[in-house]
């Protein structure tokens, strides 16, 4: 158990507790780590870059980089941008951390904008990943008005992207900028039919335009809200379900692969199970019984 005064502990001790606590984050630990700021930035980035932790199956392992991602967002140092951008670029769409991607990246502020713009314009990424980068840029500009014109112009240029799904996913943020050139570009997208209608409609755009300009979207949170007890409890249930779904998909793939690669057996060949019997007197009998039961059932 950690002592009440965490300020007396070495940074290495705090990191070890973060690394192994799983869902049971000790009270005060996130706040003390954030307080140390730049001193702890490098080790947190190392946790985020550790692919073995992301792929682990035990909570004490796979929660560590997730904790680190949110703490880096709470610290808000643009020096963490390379690690966090690499994280978004490497994660799958159904990875739970991606839900918080824009909140985390936006917390890094204007100093992160260059890397975020390069990734937003990278057509090698999927639409979901790119939209995380455009959303984070929009939020940075919403919070830092001096950068609004630059971000509005950049997002407007991206509306010419050939990926209709990507355009549909980021066009609402462009509509909220109030920039005249941006608004004209938004209208042109619909006139040319370049926004996937399953993602966005003109009605959605008019609703966005009716909102206050540069309004921060509701799904952008304070990174530290992740460490609330109820948030971690909900995440625990979500992650368990996600791991279960992944395990089920992998099992189905293994079964399908096994059916493809196993050679067919002749009735008089040795059975593949290793019994030494002929196939017709071994597993073929079981197979025919199962198939017969299925038919009669």
pLDDT of 105-132, one tens digit each? 999 999 999 999 999 999 999 999 999 9
Pick the residue with more confidence: 197 or 125? Answer: 125
Query: For residues 213 and 238, what is the distance between their CA atoms, to the nearest angstrom?
Result: 34
Pick the residue with more confidence: 176 or 96? Answer: 176
- Integer CA distances (angstroms), 115 to 78, 82, 84, 105, in order: 10, 8, 10, 10
Residue 1 above 70 pLDDT?
Answer: no
Query: For residues 34 and 80, what is the distance between their CA atoms, to the nearest angstrom?
Result: 13
What tokens does 55 get? 């792929």
Q: Quick one: CA dihedral 14, 20, 25, 30, positive or negative?
A: positive
pTM of the model: 0.78
Query: For residues 235 and 121, what is the distance between their CA atoms, to the nearest angstrom?
Result: 31
**278 beta partners:** 270
Question: Side-chain half-sphere of 293: how many Cα atoms within 13 Å?
Answer: 5
Number of other CB atoms surrounding residue 142 within 10 Å: 22
State whether residue 230 is helix, strand or coil: helix
The reported pLDDT for the residue numbered 99 is 85
What tokens does 238 get? 């979500």
Per-residue pLDDT reduced to its tens digit, 231-252? 888 877 876 776 677 678 777 7
Summarize the confidence of residues 80-91 as an average pLDDT. Answer: 95
Residue 197 above 90 pLDDT?
Answer: no
For the chain, what is the mean pLDDT? Answer: 87
Residue 202 above 80 pLDDT?
Answer: yes
The kind and range of the H/E element at 172 are helix 164-175
Residue 89 above 90 pLDDT?
Answer: yes
The reported pLDDT for the residue numbered 237 is 80
């Amino acid at each position: 158990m950690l002592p009440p005064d965490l300020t007396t502990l070495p940074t290495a001790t705090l990191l070890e507790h973060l690394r192994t606590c799983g869902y049971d984050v000790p009270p005060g630990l996130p706040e003390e780590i954030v307080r140390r700021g730049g001193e702890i930035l490098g080790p947190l980035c190392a946790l985020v870059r550790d692919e073995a932790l992301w792929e682990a199956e035990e909570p004490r392992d796979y929660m560590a980089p997730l904790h680190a991602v949110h703490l880096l967002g709470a610290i808000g140092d643009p020096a963490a941008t390379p690690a966090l951008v690499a994280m978004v670029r490497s994660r799958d769409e159904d990875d739970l951390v991606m839900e918080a991607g824009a909140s985390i990246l936006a917390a890094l502020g204007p100093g992160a904008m260059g890397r975020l713009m390069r990734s937003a314009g990278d057509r090698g990424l999927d639409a979901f990943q790119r939209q995380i980068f455009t959303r984070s840029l929009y939020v940075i500009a919403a919070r830092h008005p001096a950068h609004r014109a630059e971000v509005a112009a950049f997002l407007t240029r991206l509306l010419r992207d050939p990926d209709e799904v990507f355009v549909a996913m980021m066009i609402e943020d462009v509509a909220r900028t109030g920039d005249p050139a941006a608004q004209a570009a938004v209208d042109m997208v619909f006139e040319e039919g370049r926004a996937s209608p399953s993602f966005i409609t003109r009605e959605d755009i008019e609703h966005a335009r009716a909102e206050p300009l540069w309004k921060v979207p509701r799904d952008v949170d304070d990174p530290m809200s992740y460490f609330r007890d109820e948030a971690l409890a909900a995440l625990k249930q979500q992650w368990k379900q996600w791991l279960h779904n992944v395990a089920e998909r992998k099992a189905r793939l293994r079964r399908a692969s096994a059916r493809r690669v196993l050679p067919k057996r002749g009735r008089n060949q040795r059975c593949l199970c290793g019994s030494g019997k002929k196939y017709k007197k071994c597993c073929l009998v079981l197979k025919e019984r199962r198939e017969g039961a299925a038919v009669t059932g």
